[in-house]
Structure 1
Amino acid sequence: MTKEKTRNKSLFNRFLDVVERAGNKLPHPIVLFGLFALGVVVISGLLHAMGVSAEGELINSKTGEVEHTIVTIKSLFNTSGIVYMMTNAVKNFTGFAPLGTVLVAMLGVGVAEQSGWISSLLRKTVEITPAALITPVVVFLGCMSNVAGDAGYVVLIPIGALMFMAYGRHPMAGLAAAFAGVSGGFSANLLVGTLDPLLSGITNEAIRIVDANYTVQPTGNWFFMCASTFVITILGTIITDKIVEPRLGKFEGGTDTAGFTSSSMSQEESKALKTANIVLVVMVVGMIALLIPQSSFLRNPETGSLVDGSPFMDSIIILIALYFFVPAVVYGRKAGTFKDHRDVCGSMSKSMASMSTYISLVFVSSQFINYFKYTNIGTIIALKGANFFGASGIGPIPLIILFVIFSAFANLFMGSASAKWTILAPVFIPMFMLLGFSPELTQVAYRIGDSCTNVITPLMSQFATIIIFAKRYDDNAGIGTLVATMLPYSLIFLIGWTILLALWMAFGLPLGPGVSLML
């Protein structure tokens, strides 16, 4: 890069370049996560020897009761720690939730890519969708995808990159836009998703400390999260188009460019696309017909819910794989890309072969994440921070803004939204209730902070997955590349979302149906 180009860059872009260069000078992600795991072993030994601990009110995951608990560091730098690491290595790997999710979804998505169905579908999308709408559509779909849990990570993010490439834009910008919506805007949605009943259940346990009669419903944050969806979509679009993509420059091509050199389709491809899409519509209509009856076997047998604890949500990944696989096979047969079942099986094998680096990375990263959880380091950081704010004497409005920032900071060390809330809810819910704030307000403040830093923390379980997706378009992509690309989203989402909350409070708007800001 010339000195003139460097001078023309903004200070913020130069800062991002420094972050990227520094991050990419680190070892290969597999080695880096191995060093992270080793660091946890050593640090846990030191903290254990120092007698580091924290205490506070925690929700017992088995009984659901709020209990006063003293949490101590569990050392991995001793014989019991070594036994844990040796006996749990395979369990940590096979029990790592994103592993099965990614591989099963990729069986369907991989076949869809290699059949040519996705390529034709995207080229048709280019023909009918204005280019100006592609960024907001990708970010918006990312936000909406979290209603299906982690499905957006393994389906929408790689497709977001392909969609941008179909429009002649940089695929890394499409990947970033989708990742920002899926993960940075994780709590934002127009629908009540899987996270809502999970967090409200934890909140209700914390409420019992001061009021046994108050109950938070899963819809308690619905109005605010609906508005958040549009705010995140607007911010994500601006960041992608004005900051991220200009910084990436022109895409020079890569392994996934085949099929996007021309927007025209042959007559055979057009017929195959029409047939495959009809099959997809029939499958969707059939599924809706199965879901409508209140007695459907796909609903929760006790509550009738389609979201909370339903067979439908529990099987969403295999359903998504089938909804890619079946139309893709139909397309491949009609278009001639699949001659027989051997071609279909071959495409499945190629799809799994492309995930070999990911599988290796998951083995190491799963050890690191589970070591961090086992040692209680993240739990103690969260507890000590919560205790500090509780005793600070800061006024209520500045305190809730600081709580958003603290939640974002804690998310860097503890990826699970429910695990962090189990620690923070018993401290902050009673505290803010005594200050007159509703539990729903505290919960929504937590959700803002918890979402914004998802895109920059290696402790987020899908972080390794996104690095592998990025390597499709940049062989040198590493943690530095991803963090530098996603940092603008994290910072601006945090600021913009917090401003939205402040305005919401200033106008006294309801957070959900019948839910006030104040008690």
Structure 2
Amino acid sequence: MEKDQVLKKKNLFQKCLDGIEIVGNKLPHPVALFSIFCLAIMIISAVAAASGLSVEGELINRTTNKLELQTITAVSLLSREGIIYMLENAISNFVNFAPLGMVLVGMLGIGTAEGSGYISALLKKTVAITPAQLVTPMVVFLGVMSNIASDAGYVVLVPLGALIFMSFGRHPLAGLAAGFAGVSGGFSANLIVGTIDPMLAGLSTEAARMIDPTYTVTATSNMFFMIASTFLITLLGWFITDKIVEPRLGAVKGGSTLSKDDDDLRNLSDKEKKALKITNFTILIILIAIVGIVLMPNSVLRNTAIEAEKGFVNSIIDHSPLMNGFVPIMAMIFFVAAIVYGRTSGQFKNHRDVCTEMGKAMSSMGGYIALAFIMAQFVQYFSYTNLGTILAIEGANLLGSMNMNSIVLMVVFVLFAGFINLFMGSASAKWAIMAPVFLPMFMKLGISPELTQVAYRIGDSTTNIISPLMSYFAMIVIFAQKHDKKAGIGTLISTMVPYTIIFLIGWIILLGIWMMLGLPLGPGAGLVYPLA
């Protein structure tokens, strides 16, 4: 009777989400599904190459780092060269798959810390000091802020979001969704400049100089807008999680796997308090030491090669050893925390216990490693065949032929960027293709490069969380299955669709208001490019 009442209360949108989940979960296992995708790319690339599919566009030559007019032609994977490519590069595709090493190294430290009991104790302390009503915005906000260190939030914050919610007796998948929404859906937002800012700014500068050889897009050019976006995404993520996602998850059969032992997450013994205090003090010393090293002259953690040109701050965030090595550093900190806490609490008796726990942490990633192998092939196949590049350039040409005012044009561009993001996961790779096409085009219409870059970042962020081609999507599915064994691609996509839709609408509204008010996007970064 109660179930019938719940079903009757579901509106059309909730029924659509249920339909997405049902259809998605009836798809083959993710390993089999991406194997099918690989086969499809082989066939499509062969047909496209046989038909002579090609397109011309101004693209950045990654060898010379200069813009060149290039003809992009579809390449067949079923040709002699394509078959040789697949055979010779299968291992390198897997080994060089960016998320693989990051995830495994990160989990080596985090998994050991979890096995030592440190993560559990830290969560107990978090539960004790955090008001229940602020848990959701805290998780979303920390997710947004995590992109300071690029992709590290996927490895750390998403699984911790599930554990934090579980600590409060809430649905773990809602916590996972809140963390994922902050980390990935709000990827471009932040209160300070992150690693993505100088990366995109560099590409934007090269593209803008096709029109104005003296033009420079700085790493801070979107700062004001992204600061406002941080609060917007936090508030929207809070609303979506508490009012849409978690109520729906509560009605899903077998949705929550909370056990009786999880109630113990609320209790912190005297022994745990002592071990936690010593461990946190140790971590504080490590963090102070890292800051001290960063501040040293010619620091090994700064990019000293660009310090003279771009300043001290850029030497820290712009491809610095600190940012590039953030995950190994983070893993080391968690590993030290595991040893200190484990020894102090009595969980670890000797080094053998530590090594055993490291092995357990890695054994839990077997499913992800198998999936990563197939995903790595698919991502590289899509790049090798040039299908993603052709799609982006053809879409750009279509968009450029439309006669629209600046606000409408930017909204359409946001939607276009979000659509392309479903097929190409890397933010920098897409912008390397799209910036040379769109920036000059929009500059000729009086739109500043900084505004075009902001619109791109909105579209690129909002659809990350529903794209199976996003590099970390498979890993998030694996995290979800730890709390719900029946969870699949359909479960994750249906859970994240509300975030995509509402983030997209909210961010577009913010952009429209920003443009109507004529506010600067960052220090010295306006909305208009003055036409001669």
Q: TM-score range by the shorter chain?
A: over 0.9
* Residue-by-residue CA offset, 1:31-63 (whole Å, 9 max, x unaligned): 111111111111111111122112111111111
> Tell me, what secondary structure is at the counterpart of 1:67?
strand
Q: Residue 252 and residue 366 in structure 1: after superposition, are their counterparts in 2 closer, same or farther (change >3 A)?
A: closer
Residue aligning to 2:284: 281
Deviation of residue 8 (structure 1)? 1.6
Paired position in structure 1 for 2:209 = 208
Alignment partner of 1:419 is 2:429? yes
2:422/2:463 contact within 8 Å kept: yes
The C-alpha deviation readout for 1:438-475, integer Å capped at 9, x for no partner, is 11001101000011000011111111111111110111
Structure 1 distance, partners of 2:272, 2:101, is: 32
Equivalent in the alignment of 1:513: 523
Q: Label 1:140 to 1:257 Cα distance change in 2 as closer, same or farther (>3 A).
A: farther
Amino acid at match of 2:264: T
Out of 439, 442, 454, the position equivalent to 1:444 is 454
The question of 1:264 aligning with 2:267 is answered yes
Q: Give the paired residue count.
A: 519
> Distance in 1 between the 2:499 and 2:515 partners?
24
1:294 Cα shift?
Answer: 4.3
Distance 1:391 1:483, change over 3 A: same
Verify: 1:402 aligned to 2:412, yes or no.
Answer: yes
Which of 453, 469, 475 does residue 479 from structure 2 map onto? 469
Aligned to 1:43: 44
C-alpha distance in 2 between matches for 1:423 and 1:196:
17
Letter paired with 2:227: C
8 Å Cα contact 2:271/2:345 also seen in 1: yes
How far, CA to CA, are the matches of 2:9 and 2:323 in structure 1?
A: 50
Q: After superposing the two structures, state which structure 1 stretch, 390-399 or 115-124, moved more.
A: 390-399
Cα distance in 1, alignment partners of residues 192 and 407 from structure 2: 28
**Structural mapping, 1:145-294, within 5 Å:** 145-249=146-250, 254=257, 258=261, 260-294=263-297
* Structure 2 contact 181–237 (Cα < 8 Å) conserved: yes
Are residue 312 (structure 1) and residue 318 (structure 2) matched?
no
Matched residue SS, 1:55: strand
Q: Secondary structure at the match of 2:333?
A: helix
- In structure 1, C-alpha distance between the alignment counterparts of 2:447 and 2:402, rounded to whole Å: 17
- The one-letter amino acid of 1:117's match is Y
Does the CA-based 8 Å contact 2:425-2:470 persist in structure 1? yes
Q: State the alpha-carbon separation in 2 of the partners of residues 286 and 454 from structure 1.
A: 35
Percent same amino acid at aligned positions? 57
> How has the CA–CA distance of structure 1 residues 48 and 262 changed in structure 2, closer, same or farther, with 3 Å as cutoff?
closer
Q: CA deviation at 1:5?
A: 3.1
* 1:262-310 CA-partner distances (Å, limit 9, x unpaired): 5222221111111111111111111111112342121112123111121
Residue in structure 2 matching 1:362, options 372, 377, 381: 372
Q: Is the 8 A contact 1:440 1:511 kept in 2?
A: yes
1:16 matches 2:26: no
Deviations 1:85-125 (A, max 9, x none): 11110011001010000000001100111111111111111
- The Cα of 1:72 is off from its aligned counterpart by 0.9
**Deviations 1:471-509 (CA, angstroms, capped at 9, x unpaired):** 101111111111101111111111100110100011111
Alignment match, 2:299: 296
Describe the superposition over 1:132-154 as per-residue Cα deviations: whole angstroms up to 9, x where unpaired.
11111111111110110110000
Instruction: Kindly indicate whether the alpha-carbon contact (under 8 Å) linking 2:407 and 2:515 is maintained by their aligned counterparts in 1.
Output: no
What is residue 312 of structure 2 aligned with on the other side? none
Is 1:108 aligned to residue 109 of structure 2?
A: yes
Instruction: Tell me which moved more, 171-180 or 265-274.
Output: 265-274
Q: CA deviation at 1:6?
A: 2.3
CA distance in 1, matches of 2:143, 2:270: 33
- Aligned to 2:306, the other structure's residue is in SS state coil
**TM-fit CA distance, 1:7:** 2.2
Counterpart CA distance in 2 for 1:432 and 1:416 is: 23
* Structure 2 CA distance for partners of 1:255 and 1:359, relative to 1, 3 Å: farther
Residue 66 (structure 2) pairs with residue 56 (structure 1): no
CA distance in 2, matches of 1:337, 1:7: 50
The amino acid across from 2:427 in the alignment is: A
CA contact (8 A) 1:119 1:259 kept: no
Task: Assess if the C-alpha contact under 8 Å between 1:115 and 1:338 holds in 2.
Answer: yes
- Whether the 8 Å contact between 1:56 and 1:387 is mirrored in structure 2 is no
The change in CA–CA distance for 1:46 and 1:266 in structure 2 (over 3 A counts) is: same
Task: State the shift of 1:84 in Å.
Answer: 0.8
Q: 1:253 touches 1:473 (CA, 8 Å); kept in 2? A: yes
- C-alpha change, 1:437 and 1:4, in structure 2 (3 Å) is same
The 3-state SS of whatever aligns with 1:107 is: helix
Match status 1:325 vs 2:335:
yes
Q: Given that residues 52 and 72 in structure 1 are in contact (C-alpha distance below 8 angstroms), is that contact kept between their aligned partners in structure 2? A: yes
- Is 1:489 aligned with 2:499? yes
Asked if 1 retains the 8 angstrom alpha-carbon contact of 2:171 and 2:256, the reply is: no
Deviations 1:158-198 (A, max 9, x none): 11110000011111001000000100100001111111111
For 1:182 and 1:339, the matched residues in 2 are separated by 36
Change (3 A) 1:161 1:485: same
Q: Which residue of 2 aligns with 1:371?
A: 381
Q: Match of 1:99?
A: 100
Aligned equivalents of 2:11 and 2:469: distance in 1?
30
CA RMSD after TM alignment = 1.4
Aligned residue for 1:306, secondary structure, equals helix
**Pairing 1:119-158 to 2, within 5 Å after superposition:** 119-158=120-159
**Which residue in 2 is equivalent to 1:25?**
26
Distance in structure 1 (CA, Å) of the matches to 2:153 and 2:278: 25
Confirm or deny: 8 A CA contact 2:249 2:255 kept in the other structure. Answer: no
CA distance in 2, matches of 1:253, 1:425: 44
Per the alignment, do residues 253 and 495 of structure 1 end up closer, same or farther by CA in structure 2, a change over 3 Å counting? closer
Inter-partner Cα distance in structure 2 for 1:485 and 1:294: 48
Q: Which amino acid aligns with 1:78?
A: S
Select between 355-364 and 266-275 the one with higher mean Cα deviation: 266-275
Contact kept? 2:198, 2:318, Cα under 8 Å: yes
Check the 8 A contact 1:165/1:257 in 2, yes or no: no
For residues 457 and 517 of structure 2, what CA distance do their matches in structure 1 show? 20
TM-superposed CA distance for 1:257, in Å, is: 7.3
TM-score (norm 1): 0.98
C-alpha distance in structure 2 between counterparts of 1:185 and 1:81, whole Å: 37
Q: What is the rounded CA distance, in whole Å, between the counterparts of 1:335 and 1:42 in structure 2?
A: 57
Alpha-carbon distance between aligned partners in 1 of 2:280 and 2:322, rounded to the nearest angstrom: 22
